[in-house]
Amino acid sequence: MIALIDNKFQIDLSKPIDISIPLSNTDENPIAWYIEKPEIEPVKFGDWIGKVSEGSSTNFNNIFFNPHGHGTHTECLGHITREFYSINQCLKQFFFTAELISIAPENINGDLVITKNQIEKALNGKTTEAIVIRTLPNLEQKKHKNYSKTNPPYLSEEAAIFIREIGIQHLLIDLPSVDREEDEGKLLAHKAFWNVKNVNNLNDDARLNCTITEMIFVEDKIQDGSYILNLQIASFENDASPSKPILYKI
């Protein structure tokens, strides 16, 4: 099925490119922020178990997980503000122009950092509503890694400011956070991207409609370039939700 977006871009809806990581209750599930793997278990009422293989008429599971630490998720500025903001209220549009870029983070004082210059060079003057950052090397391990206490690569504050200043509304990255794992709670890249100057008293020009999506995975066979992004979340009234970002070739 062919669709026309904004009367400008033609995409084939039968050829989605899924860049999300599925959530499971196995050791294959990626983990960050010092938590354990997700739990997916059948409901139990006395001798009754919500599992067809155990004699029930249906499979009836409870799922316990953390959107920030258990896989692909999309978050709004409510992630860092004192006042509650919900991703379900902030994200009301779901199709965007997107640019996929690949970057090998630079070694800066022992950390691997994505810099402003790298992003500016990779975009090469292109304007877009969303940016998808694939870090190099692009190891399959990203889909299964326990990131806790590994100091993964992250985005410099200057890079986040640049992304904001050129009008990008949605930032997607294949890392557990745009910020350093242990940064004394500064969250410089988060604050810079959302233009949050005071987490206790939100400024009027903070970017309520903008999102950060973390822990994606973009296969090597997917080429850098321009796409249409379909950014879908579950309807949680929470600062973040598990999400399923889909790219379509233009």
Residue 61 in domain: no
95-104 pLDDT tens trace: 999 999 999 9
Which pLDDT does position 163 carry in this prediction? 98
Q: Which domain holds residue 225?
A: 2-23+71-249
Asked if 214 contacts 75 with a C-beta cutoff of 8 angstroms, the reply is yes
Residue 81 in domain: yes
Residue 119 in domain: yes
Which pLDDT does position 3 carry in this prediction? 78
Q: Is the pLDDT of residue 6 over 80?
A: no
Which pLDDT does position 97 carry in this prediction? 97
Q: Which amino acid is located at 46 in the chain?
A: G
Residue 40 in domain: no
Residue 220 in domain: yes
Q: Is the pLDDT of residue 107 over 90?
A: yes
21-41 pLDDT tens trace: 999 999 999 999 999 999 999
Mean pLDDT check: name the lowest of 6-10, 26-30, 107-111, 188-192.
6-10
CA distance 113 to 119: 11
CA distance 249 to 223: 10
Average pLDDT over residues 224-228: 97
Q: Residue 133 corresponds to which tokens in the numbers above?
A: 């950052």
Q: How far, CA to CA in Å, does 117 sit from each of 97, 105, 159?
A: 22, 11, 8
φ and ψ at 208, to 5 degrees? -65, -30
Q: Nearest CA to 130 among 161, 173, 67, 79? A: 173
Q: Is the pLDDT of residue 208 over 90?
A: yes
Which pLDDT does position 217 carry in this prediction? 98
125-166 pLDDT tens trace: 999 999 999 999 999 999 999 999 999 999 999 999 999 999
pTM of the model: 0.96
Mean predicted lDDT score pLDDT of the chain? 96
Look up the CATH number of the domain holding residue 226: 3.50.30.50
Q: Which amino acid is located at 98 in the chain?
A: A
Average pLDDT over residues 7-27: 94
Look at the alpha carbons of 164, 169, 173, 175 in this order and tell me if their dihedral is positive or negative. Answer: positive
Residue 224 in domain: yes
Residue 111 in domain: yes
Mean pLDDT check: name the lowest of 4-8, 75-79, 90-94, 114-118.
4-8
Residue 89 in domain: yes
Which pLDDT does position 36 carry in this prediction? 96
What is the share, in percent, of the chain residues with pLDDT greater than 90?
Answer: 96
**What total number of domains does the chain contain?**
1
Q: Nearest CA to 125 among 88, 157, 162? A: 162
DSSP string computed for 149-205? TS---EE-HHHHHHHHHTT--EEEESSS-SS-SSSTT--HHHHHHHT-S-TTS--TT
